[in-house]
């Protein structure tokens, strides 16, 4: 009986994941995997060289005059 519940649990988990990812394409999932590198242009460039995939890097925002930069 425990084996049946384990198999049902695995099947339920699989179906839930499939349902959540049903509108995702391979490209959108690939783009999502590159998001952690998008805020550092230097790292994004290294990832592009290593993987051959384009990373849409965004340069960090510059501190505005008169504002305190807390990243020091």
Distance CA 52, CA 19 (A): 30
Q: C-alpha angle with apex 62: 54 to 46, nearest 5 degrees?
A: 25
**pLDDT, average across residues 12-38:** 88
37 pLDDT band, cuts 50/70/90, is: confident
User: What is the spatial distance between Cα 41 and Cα 53, in angstroms, rounded to a whole number?
Assistant: 14
Counted residue by residue, the chain has a size of 72
- Inter-residue contact 59 to 41 (CB < 8 Å): yes
pLDDT at residue number 38: 80
d(CA 47, CA 42): 9
């Amino acid at each position: 009986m425990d084996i049946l519940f384990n198999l049902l649990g695995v099947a339920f988990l699989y179906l839930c994941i499939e349902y959540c990812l049903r509108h995702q394409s391979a490209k959108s999932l690939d783009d999502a995997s590159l998001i952690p590198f998008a805020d550092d242009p230097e790292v994004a460039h290294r990832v592009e060289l290593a993987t051959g995939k384009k990373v849409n890097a965004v340069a960090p925002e510059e501190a505005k005059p008169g504002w305190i930069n807390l990243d020091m």
